[in-house]
Amino acid sequence: MSLFSRKRKRALRRGLGGALMRVFGPAFVRVLAWTWRTEITGRENLLPAARPEGEGPSGKLIALWHGRMLVGVNCARGLSLSVLVSPSADGQVSERVLRALGYRVIRGSASRGGRRALREMLKELRAGGAIVITPDGPRGPRHKMNPGLAWMSRVTGFPVIPVGLAASSAWRLSSWDSFTIPKPFARVAIIFGDPIEVSREIGEGDLEAITERIRASIFEHERRAFAQVGAREDW
């Protein structure tokens, strides 16, 4: 079989898989997530915090790894959560599933639709909402971050909430992010960490240190989440 034929077959399978997920994905995820025993810790860190007079409601930037997105789907109930999703074909599938589960979706990335997405994010944050961001997405490498999230927190004045997620048993796809799908009736732990404030006064050189602090905090809470469900870390 020629290289062209193999690529064409992979493209066809990918297209068919995406079409099936757009049609059946939301119902499948809802049923699957209904079986999980989800334990949420630190939910109070998402509640509105006191702000200086004149600064308006307290929005939040929620940071979790790209491969954990599905693990945390049950935390949307009763919260005003929006998710930043890439404008790719895969993002279309994610958008349909997320909307069906009660999330709002903002489409955009650094390379496509960035300005429009930033305007939408600021609108949500200033209204007191929370934006879910996967700092190692949409292409990876897995668990690698650039200073973009720290920069966003600095210029907007809204804190970053690191999140650790784990499942007692799960399937892991052979994708760059080892995408995690908890198995039926798995225990799922979601741990929201304390807010990480990024001062508007810090310089560009300090953003790298803040970025590493956020990264280390996500790992810390993931370790706690894995210990909570009695499973081994998977990285």
Task: Tell me whether residue 97 is in a domain.
Answer: yes
pLDDT tens readout for residues 72-125: 988 876 677 888 887 776 667 778 778 877 788 888 765 555 677 788 888 888
Which residue type does 10 have?
Answer: R
pLDDT at 17: 45
Task: Tell me whether residue 127 is in a domain.
Answer: yes
Host domain of residue 91: 3-229
Measure the CA–CA gap between 233 and 46, rounded to whole angstroms.
25
Task: Tell me whether residue 235 is in a domain.
Answer: no
Q: Structural domain tally of the chain?
A: 1
Task: Tell me whether residue 27 is in a domain.
Answer: yes
Task: Tell me whether residue 173 is in a domain.
Answer: yes
pLDDT at 83: 86
Task: Tell me whether residue 234 is in a domain.
Answer: no
Q: Phi, psi (5° rounding) for residue 25?
A: -55, -50
pLDDT at 29: 85
Q: At what angle do helices 3-35 and 89-100 cross, to 10 degrees?
A: 10
pLDDT at 16: 44
What sign results for the dihedral spanned by CA atoms 44, 151, 154, 207? positive
CATH of the domain at 203: 3.40.1130
109 sits in the region (left: phi over 0; alpha: psi -120 to 50; else beta) called beta
Residues linked to residue 161 through DSSP beta bridges, in sequence order: 62
Task: Tell me whether residue 29 is in a domain.
Answer: yes
Q: Phi, psi (5° rounding) for residue 120?
A: -65, -40
pLDDT surpasses 60 at 58: yes
Task: Tell me whether residue 216 is in a domain.
Answer: yes
